[in-house]
Amino acid sequence: MLKIPTVALPSGRVMPIFGVGTWRMGESARHRADEVKAVRAAIDRGITLIDTAEMYGDGEAENIVAEAMGTGQNSRRDNLFVVSKVLPGNASRRGTIAACERSLKRLNTDRIDLYLLHWRGGPALGETIAAFAELKAAGKILDWGVSNFDIDDMRELASLDTANECATNQVLYNLTRRGIEFDLMPYCAKRGIPIMAYSPLEQARMLGDAVLKAVGQRHGATPAQVALAWLLRQKGIVSIPKATRLDHLHDNIAALDLKLSAEDLKTLDARFPSPKRATPLDML
């Protein structure tokens, strides 16, 4: 069974630094069985962090996660760390609570380990935080956080989150999207807020890069493993690659054992340089 390291959340709870994402799952009935199989296979291999959202497949991704977790005596829910998200259009105080109830029903669970605001929207941020506090007090969510928040958003959040309970900021981050390293990552690190990196493989677009291939060849590893290992070596970073094929899942898991050398990191920095100035937050 996998031994996946964890990162501490402000609440004192811990979250695995590696999991599986479900973005774009649930969009096609033709692929549903394979998607359930992929999430179940990840759980079978010992992955416990599963990231989903009410937006994904209009809620169908949450249904897929529920089916993969199992029910009754076969349920493995208690061993899992489930993340979901509320859409900004639903993020008023009453709307957030109602959205969470719907997600709980689709996920067939009584609690969500980490519940995020998917991105900034119309409702006041204070309303969403108040709803999160109410849901947490009721035990329906165990921690809350945000997604796609740039540094100004995080500063506004800090002025409202007087208990300093924000558990994470989930953002687009990979070798080709390093803009957050200039100011957002240091800001979050100073406050003990882990970064969840979504699309860590840039939806596979980076995997044909010659430099990634060359670094991989030094270790007998694939470009995907190199890209994931580059993220996983960093303190306070959580990676949630999606895998709908078993070979991709096994490839991703192998990245946990890949140790990049100082020479590797220098090579990657030359090919994918760190930012020299502040840039707007990237989103997909």
d(Cα 6, Cα 13) in Å, to the nearest integer? 10
Rounded to 5 degrees, what angle do the CA atoms 93, 98, 102 make? 150
**Among this protein's residues, is 56 annotated catalytic?**
yes
Closest by alpha carbon to 15, among 115, 156, 108, 87? 115
**Residue 146 bridge partners (DSSP):** 117, 169
Residues 6+ apart with CB under 8 A from 251: 222, 224, 225, 243
Q: How far is CA 69 from the centre of its chain?
A: 18
Closest by alpha carbon to 256, among 43, 46, 38? 46
d(Cα 245, Cα 249) in Å, to the nearest integer? 6
Residue in 56, 115, 173, 198 annotated catalytic? 56
d(Cα 136, Cα 132) in Å, to the nearest integer? 6
* Three-class SS state of 37: helix
d(Cα 66, Cα 57) in Å, to the nearest integer? 14
- Count, in order, helices (H) and strands (E) of the chain: 10, 10
The two three-digit tokens of residue 219, written as one number? 């270790």
Q: Tell me the catalytic residues.
A: 56
